[in-house]
Every structure is written in structure tokens, then in C-alpha cells.
Chains A and B, each alone.
Chain A
Amino acid sequence: MAELHQDNSGAYLIRGAAILGGAPEDLLIRDGVIAGRGRDLAADGATVIEAAGLVALPGMVDIHTHLREPGREDAETVETGTRAAALGGYTAVHAMANSTPVADTAGVVEQVLTLGRAAGWVDVRPVGAVTVGLAGEQLAELGAMADSRARVRVFSDDGICVHDPVLMRRALEYVKAFDGVVAQHAQEPRLTAGAQMNEGEVSAVLGLTGWPAVAEESIIARDVLLAQHVGSRLHVCHVSTAGSVEIVRWAKSRGVNVTAEVTPHHLWLTDELVRSYDPVYKVNPPLRTDADVQALRAALADGTIDVVGTDHAPHPSEHKECEWAQAAMGMTGLETALSVVQHTMIETGLMGWADFARVTSTAPAAIGRLEDQGRPLETGEPANVILVDPAARWTVDPSKMATMGRNSPFAGRELPGKVVATFFRGHPTVLAGKLNTPYRWLPENTEMPGAAPAGRN
């Protein structure tokens, strides 16, 4: 473990939290690690946090975040986006590559890493672009990004599908050299030219160009077969249809090394909301039908879908205060994800808090190869821990969020569950439901702690 800068406050005794929703126990956090777990631990000078009624969980890991910096600092910055992440219960986020400039070189991913360290709210893990400029024509220098200080393991052209089958095959093969994974945004471009919303009953009435489920499913089907053929690791971003679930399930049954992700909004919202023509509901992939929502929930519960990824996509208001067709696609998600998953998966009885920890922390950390995230809450483990009040109820008000994006589709809804505290590397970034102070990295600390040197794994 890294030595702590003096700003990072020392010891906390969390008293009586339900660990993963189980029986109440104490957790002692000291020097960045969990120094003890059990009943009636002695405070021994540590600050005591009474946690009766709270659930202790491993810090959440987002496999899919748009932090917008560099390039669109009017939409979000690493600072504001990671504040939102900490408040939402995250201790690590994967910053997608579609910044300006695109994160397709070692220089850009190291810049994003550095911005994340300077902010200090969570681990910021840059995702590298698969192709130069996301143009889908030529592989970016994946190896250079993998070997950089950012140690990139997840590669994605997210927002744009790597639709050329040969390029996708090569990318899948190439990243094997450094245990990388290609995270595919599955969207057949020709089938979705000008597409505005899910193609179905509602699009027929609204006269908005349809976005057929088959455009997603056909790419996933192709990619799982490619992954099987070349023996590579594939991650499918934001699965949104019942058909996609079936294909992923089939692929897993055949032993294909594929993981899949679902967003909180696809676990709840449907294309019926588009009838308002309010672009806050415009997102890629689009909101689908209730049958899709139910299939996604079942798939997340049974493990067919491995992780929840927010696809947090803040936009300046002028990109949403316009005609539907003119509006940008995307929704914010970091500060509502926990609540939405609690509402859709836990309060429906589909999952418990241990499953929640799996889909929001353990599994996404494993996909991103983050050694010190998504760990068990046991003595000696890194203290990336959150405390959640599952009985809390709150009404979403985007103007009060830490993200600069005001485009939350949950605005005005009452949601369950609130993050009370977030410990990042043993330091409370959130206390009493409010931002505390960031973790301070040592200026000279440029290596990721606990990580093997680049190029050796």
C-alpha cells in the first residue's frame, strides 16, 4: 500500500454496519486498509461512525463513465465528474475515450490519469480508443496505452461501433498481448442511420426514425463468435434488448469469454417516455420496451449480465433544450445508479446486497483488471468501502447534483437508498452524505499501487 499523505486522515471505526447486507459488524479502517473486521472492535483512537441500519459495501466501480475532459469542459470535468462519482458511492471509474482529443495515445490517457489523481475523489482509469480518432479505420497504439502510466486494459470506441469485422477481429486478438479487453458499443451503423429511438410501436406513432433491436443484436452475435474464434476477451457495453441477452447467454453457455453490462436507466425506463419528445430521454442505445427491461433485470440477476455501468453522459443544457432530433444522446447516472439498482433489483427481490456488490464492484473491477478495487471487506484489504442507508428516500433534483450535467432522466422521481460515506483508499471522500475532502496522492507517486509493472502481465 502507498504511504499516505498527511492530508489523508487516519483511522475510522465503522460500528455495526450490515456488511453486504448481513449481520452487523464493525470495520476498522486505518492507513488505507481494512485493519479489522468483527464485533465490538476497540476504537483505539479512531473516529467512530455509528452505522446501525447502514449497509457496508465495496466501493463501486463504474466500467463506463464519460468525464468529457479533455475537450468538453463545458459538459463535465474530471473534477466535477469524480465528485459525482464519490457521492454516488464509486471509488473507481473508467473514463471513456471519446474526449477531444480522443484518448487514443499514451499521452492522452496519461493526462486523464493525472487529472484523476489531482482530483483525488476516485480512481480514474482511462479507457483507450480501439481505433485512431474513433474513426474505425486503423488500430490506435493499444500497446503504448497499455504500457503507459495509465496501464490501460479496457479499450473501446464507445459511442461508435467497431463495425468493420476484420478490424474488430484484429483488436480482439491484439489486446491479448497485455490481457486487455475490447468493450464494444454494439450498433450496426447502416441499420441505425438517422435513428432516433427504439423501433417499435412508439416510434411508429411518433414518426421518429427507428433504431431496431437487431442493429445491436447482430453485432453482439458477430462479436461473440469472433471472440470465440480468436480466444479473446470481449465486453459488451450497455446491453439494451431481450434479444441481446439471449445471445450473451448462449455465448456464455458455449464458453465464450464475454462479459456484459447494463445501465441503470435500461433497467427501468422504456420508450413510452419518448412520447413527451423530451430529449432528456434520448440516449444511445435507446430506451426499449418493458419486455426488454424485464429481460435485462432477469439477466443481471442470473449473471448473464455481469455488471452495471452507468454510461454517465453529461451534456450542456443547450444540447438537450432543443428539438429531439437535434439533441445529444446521453443521461447522467453516477449519482443515481445505486438508488436505481436498489429500486429495480433489490426492492423487487431479484437481488441482495451481496449481488449488488458483485455487479457494481467485484465484476467491473475484474473486467478492468483493477487489483485494489472490488475486493472483499476483509482485514488487510484496501479500504475502498461505502456505507449506504437503504431506508433513505430522496427526490432527484439535477440542479443539486455534483455533476455539471443536468440531464437526469430521473429528475423529480423519489428514489430509495443514499450513500452516507465513501472511503477511497481509506480516506473518507464522502461523509454524512456530503463531499468531504479528496484523497491526496503523493506528488512523486506515479505508479499505481498494487499493480505489476506494465508489460509484465
Chain B
Amino acid sequence: MKHLLSTEDLSLADATRILDTAEEMAAVGEREVKKLPALRGRTVVNLFFEDSTRTRISFEAAAKRLSADVINFAAKGSSVSKGESLKDTAQTLAAMGADAVVIRHWASGAPHRLAATDWIDAAVINAGDGTHEHPTQALLDAFTMRRHWSRLAGTPSAGADLAGMRVAIAGDVLHSRVARSNVWLLRTLGAEVTLVAPPTLLPIGVEKWPCTVSYDLDETLCKGVDAIMMLRVQGERMNASFFPTTREYSRRWGLDDNRLRALDGLGLKDTIIMHPGPMNRGLEISAAAADSPRSTVLAQVRNGVSIRMAALYLLLSGDTREPAAAPTAAAPTAAAPTAAHSKESH
């Protein structure tokens, strides 16, 4: 694995390896000194063409816990806003010796361009591109689901998949990179996915996706779900006639208090409620649902750092690159050495 661009082409072996490595990274996060020397001397650039403080600080925390040097490059107010091209920006970062570029871009496919061209040789991690993919978000979601699913089964999560888990993803699928990345990854991990959305917010061609599609949230809940993920709905969609009003949207497709109560009534006591954030409380999710014990919203944020540590670690100390500081030598726990060994499986 040289880049992490999408979950569509992520194999089960690679996905499991990232999730398992993240379990080990999570252990680091629980220690008093939350730091590994694994990427000492490596430079990670967070190249953000779109504002996203949450994702950026998550990657920043991940890179710093691995002792990498972090450069934050926000396109706003930089040479990019003066018309510099992606090519020139990439070549500049290459000249500065970036080992990994974490790119967030409003244009679908921008990370693929960086990876496919000779503009820069660094490892590219897609931190969300347009309405295409957001692979680390899907991985952290899967990580959260896997922990939940394994706990219910009473088995360790390392090495596990999501076979048999029923996941509903509800909201603006059309414009959601999170939904796309989740559909592919959850398919790979064996979960059963149902997309729930108004027909206007589903892409033409969705019928070919490896999932079920429903226009009816209540019916989907009635059939039983183990995780329900609510997608953020942008208020401006209303003006483009995707739905009549935010209130109608909330009534038909929101996880409101009635539906939250219905989960209990349906006997779905172990169903978790997920949201990639930031939430529109009162629109796609009610405050009670967001704050309920079922909610994994904060666990998702926490797990995001572990997943991003795993991704950076695997990409920057993979076979194609000279290892920096071998984690075996320095790590006081067994976490990192295991990760180092597991990379040999590909």
C-alpha cells in the first residue's frame, strides 16, 4: 500500500490490517505518554483546500503521536488562493521533502491526481475529496462498529470483520463522501448496508451499489439495524429543491425523538447511533439521539486518531520505504512491533 485514496479498492486484508494496527495505536492513546518514535524525522503535510478543523487536527494529533514533523498547509490565504495550481503546490511540497501528504480537497479525485502524476513522490492520504471518498472516516466508523460488534459477540476485535452486522446510513447520500467510503468498506467487511434517503439525494446509478436502498427510515428501523449512521444535511440543499423544507426532511428522514424511542420499542437495545459530525442537531438528528447512550459520536472522534496513526504508520514504514526509527527498539508495549510484523503480510 503506497497511498490511501479510497475504500473502493481497499482489500479485506489491507482494511483488516489498518483496523488491527489502529487497535494497537489506541493502546498508545491510553498511555500516560501518548507518543511513539515510529515516524521520527518524517514530514507529514496536511494540505487542506477545504476548511475542516476536525479532520485536520485529528491527522495532526495522529502524526504527532508518531513523532512525525507536521506542516499544516491551508490553501486559504496561501499561494493557492492567489491562483497557484495543484501541480505547483505539490511540487513545492516535494521539494521541501514531504514524506506524506494528507490532502483534503473540494474536487473529487484530487488525491488521485497527486498519486497518479509525477508531481510528488510522497504517500498520499485522502482526507476527503469532494463528493467522492473519505476513507479514514469510513475506517474509523468501521473500527467503532467492529469494537461494538465484537463486544456483543464476546470476541476480540483484532482480526474480526463485520459479517452479519446490519448498518443503515441515512441522509444526503448524493453529496456524501462518507456514505460512499462506508458502502465500499462495509461491503468488504461483510456488513449489510441499507441507504435511506429521499430519492433526490441518491445518485443515479446507486442501484448498482452493493447495498439496499430505501426511501423509508421507519421501515428500515422496523426490519432491524445494529448501527444507524446519520449523514449531515446541508441547509442549502433546500434551495436546490432536493427537499421542500428542513422540517419535512427532519420528519421523514431525521433520527428524531420518536424514532429514538421506537428503537427501544422494537427491542433494538444494542443499536448504536453514529454521526461523522459536525451534526445539525434538530435536523438530521435530535439532541436526545445525539446525546443518548447509544451515540458513538465521541468514540468515533477518538478512534479517528487511532485510524489515522495506523494509516500514516503503515504507509510511511511500508516495504517501499526505508523504515525510520524501528518501533521495536523504542516502544515499551507490544503494540508497535506487532504492527511492524503485520505489514509483512502483503
| B205 contacts A200, C-beta separation under 8 Å | yes
| B108 contacts A204, C-beta separation under 8 Å | no
| B203 contacts A204, C-beta separation under 8 Å | yes
| B133 contacts A204, C-beta separation under 8 Å | no
| A318 contacts B85, C-beta separation under 8 Å | yes
Contacts of A114 in B (CB 8 A): none
Give the Cβ gap from B111 to chain A, nearest Cβ, in Å: 9
| B112 contacts A276, C-beta separation under 8 Å | yes
| A206 contacts B85, C-beta separation under 8 Å | no
Q: Out of A202, A209, A321, A326, which one reaches B205, CB within 8 Å?
A: A202
Give the Cβ gap from B195 to chain A, nearest Cβ, in Å: 11
| A207 contacts B177, C-beta separation under 8 Å | yes
Q: How far is the CA of A318 from the CA of B204 in the complex (A)?
A: 32
CB-CB under 8 A for A201 and B205, given A276-B112, A276-B116, A324-B109: yes
CB-CB under 8 A for A205 and B8, given A276-B112, A323-B105, A324-B108: yes
How many residues belonging to A are interface residues under a CB distance threshold of 8 Å? 24
Q: How far is the CA of A206 from the CA of B203 in the complex (A)?
A: 11
CB-CB under 8 A for A205 and B177, given A278-B116, A324-B108, A325-B130: no
Contacts of B247 in A (CB 8 A): none
Nearest residue, chain B, Cβ from A318: B85
Give the Cβ gap from B196 to chain A, nearest Cβ, in Å: 17
| B85 contacts A208, C-beta separation under 8 Å | no
Q: How far is the CA of A225 from the CA of B77 in the complex (A)?
A: 52
| B205 contacts A277, C-beta separation under 8 Å | no
| B108 contacts A208, C-beta separation under 8 Å | yes
Q: How far is the CA of A210 from the CA of B206 in the complex (A)?
A: 13
| A323 contacts B209, C-beta separation under 8 Å | no
Contacts of B205 in A (CB 8 A): 199-205
* A322 in contact (CB, < 8 A): yes
| B204 contacts A203, C-beta separation under 8 Å | yes
Tell me the chain B residues, 194-214 only, with Cβ under 8 Å from chain A.
Answer: 203-206, 208-209
Give the Cβ gap from A325 to chain B, nearest Cβ, in Å: 4
Contacts of A128 in B (CB 8 A): none
Contacts of B105 in A (CB 8 A): 323
* B65 in contact (CB, < 8 A): no
Q: How far is the CA of A224 from the CA of B209 in the complex (A)?
A: 37
| A206 contacts B204, C-beta separation under 8 Å | no
Q: How far is the CA of A322 from the CA of B107 in the complex (A)?
A: 10
| A206 contacts B108, C-beta separation under 8 Å | yes
| B87 contacts A207, C-beta separation under 8 Å | no
* A16 in contact (CB, < 8 A): no
* B180 in contact (CB, < 8 A): yes
How many residues belonging to B are interface residues under a CB distance threshold of 8 Å? 27
CB-CB under 8 A for A208 and B8, given A200-B204, A200-B205, A278-B116: no
* A212 in contact (CB, < 8 A): yes
Give the Cβ gap from A24 to chain B, nearest Cβ, in Å: 48
Nearest residue, chain B, Cβ from A274: B109
Q: Out of B8, B116, B206, which one reaches A277, CB within 8 Å?
A: B116
Tell me the chain B residues, 103-147 only, with Cβ under 8 Å from chain A.
Answer: 105-110, 112-113, 116-117, 129-133
Give the Cβ gap from B178 to chain A, nearest Cβ, in Å: 11
| B109 contacts A321, C-beta separation under 8 Å | no
Summed over the interface, the residue pairs from A and B with CB atoms below 8 Å come to a total of: 78
| A322 contacts B85, C-beta separation under 8 Å | yes
Q: Out of B113, B117, B206, which one reaches A204, CB within 8 Å?
A: B206
Contacts of A324 in B (CB 8 A): 107-110, 113
Fill in one digit per residue for A166-202: 1 if any B CB lies within 8 Å of its CB, else 0: 0000000000000000000000000000001001111
Give the Cβ gap from B149 to chain A, nearest Cβ, in Å: 26
| A323 contacts B203, C-beta separation under 8 Å | no
| B204 contacts A322, C-beta separation under 8 Å | no
CB-CB under 8 A for A210 and B116, given A205-B180, A323-B86, A323-B105: no
Q: Out of A196, A204, A276, which one reaches B204, CB within 8 Å?
A: A204
| B107 contacts A325, C-beta separation under 8 Å | yes
Nearest residue, chain A, Cβ from B131: A207
Q: How far is the CA of A278 from the CA of B112 in the complex (A)?
A: 9
| A325 contacts B204, C-beta separation under 8 Å | no
Q: How far is the CA of A321 from the CA of B113 in the complex (A)?
A: 9
CB-CB under 8 A for A322 and B116, given A205-B180, A207-B130, A207-B180: no
CB-CB under 8 A for A323 and B204, given A207-B131, A207-B133: no
Nearest residue, chain B, Cβ from A193: B240
Contacts of B132 in A (CB 8 A): 206-208
| A208 contacts B109, C-beta separation under 8 Å | yes
Q: Out of B87, B106, B116, B203, which one reaches A203, CB within 8 Å?
A: B203
Q: How far is the CA of A204 from the CA of B177 in the complex (A)?
A: 11
| A323 contacts B177, C-beta separation under 8 Å | no
Nearest residue, chain B, Cβ from A326: B107
Q: Out of A204, A207, A322, which one reaches B86, CB within 8 Å?
A: A322
Give the Cβ gap from A202 to chain B, nearest Cβ, in Å: 7
Fill in one digit per residue for B166-190: 1 if any A CB lies within 8 Å of its CB, else 0: 0000000000010010000000000
Q: Out of B87, B106, B109, B116, which one reaches A206, CB within 8 Å?
A: B109
| A277 contacts B131, C-beta separation under 8 Å | no
Contacts of A205 in B (CB 8 A): 8, 180, 205, 209
| A201 contacts B87, C-beta separation under 8 Å | no
Contacts of B131 in A (CB 8 A): 207-209
Give the Cβ gap from A191 to chain B, nearest Cβ, in Å: 12
Give the Cβ gap from A409 to chain B, nearest Cβ, in Å: 16
Contacts of A199 in B (CB 8 A): 204-205
| B204 contacts A212, C-beta separation under 8 Å | yes
Give the Cβ gap from A71 to chain B, nearest Cβ, in Å: 20
Q: How far is the CA of A277 from the CA of B105 in the complex (A)?
A: 14
Q: How far is the CA of A321 from the CA of B129 in the complex (A)?
A: 17
Contacts of B129 in A (CB 8 A): 207
Contacts of A210 in B (CB 8 A): 203-204
Q: Out of A204, A207, A278, A326, which one reaches B208, CB within 8 Å?
A: A204
Contacts of A212 in B (CB 8 A): 204
Q: How far is the CA of A278 from the CA of B115 in the complex (A)?
A: 11
| B177 contacts A277, C-beta separation under 8 Å | no
- The interface centre, meaning the residue of A207, A277, A324 with most chain B CB atoms within 10 A of its CB, is A207
- The interface centre, meaning the residue of B109, B129, B205 with most chain A CB atoms within 10 A of its CB, is B109
Q: Out of B85, B108, B117, B206, which one reaches A325, CB within 8 Å?
A: B108
Q: How far is the CA of A227 from the CA of B86 in the complex (A)?
A: 46
Give the Cβ gap from B18 to chain A, nearest Cβ, in Å: 21
Q: How far is the CA of A277 from the CA of B205 in the complex (A)?
A: 18
Contacts of A323 in B (CB 8 A): 86, 105, 107, 109-110, 113
Contacts of B109 in A (CB 8 A): 206, 208, 277, 323-325
| A321 contacts B85, C-beta separation under 8 Å | yes
Give the Cβ gap from B246 to chain A, nearest Cβ, in Å: 22
The 6 sampled A-B contact pairs (Cβ below 8 Å) are A204-B208, A207-B132, A208-B130, A208-B132, A318-B87, A321-B87
| B residues in contact (CB < 8 Å) with A | 8, 85-87, 105-110, 112-113, 116-117, 129-133, 177, 180, 203-206, 208-209
New contact pairs (12) apart from A318-B85, A325-B109, CB-CB < 8 Å: A200-B204, A200-B205, A201-B205, A203-B203, A204-B204, A206-B109, A207-B177, A208-B130, A278-B116, A322-B86, A322-B113, A326-B86
| A residues in contact (CB < 8 Å) with B | 196, 199-210, 212, 276-278, 318, 321-326
Of all A-B residue pairs in the complex, the 7 with the closest CB atoms, nearest first, are A277-B109, A204-B205, A207-B132, A207-B131, A204-B203, A323-B107, A201-B205
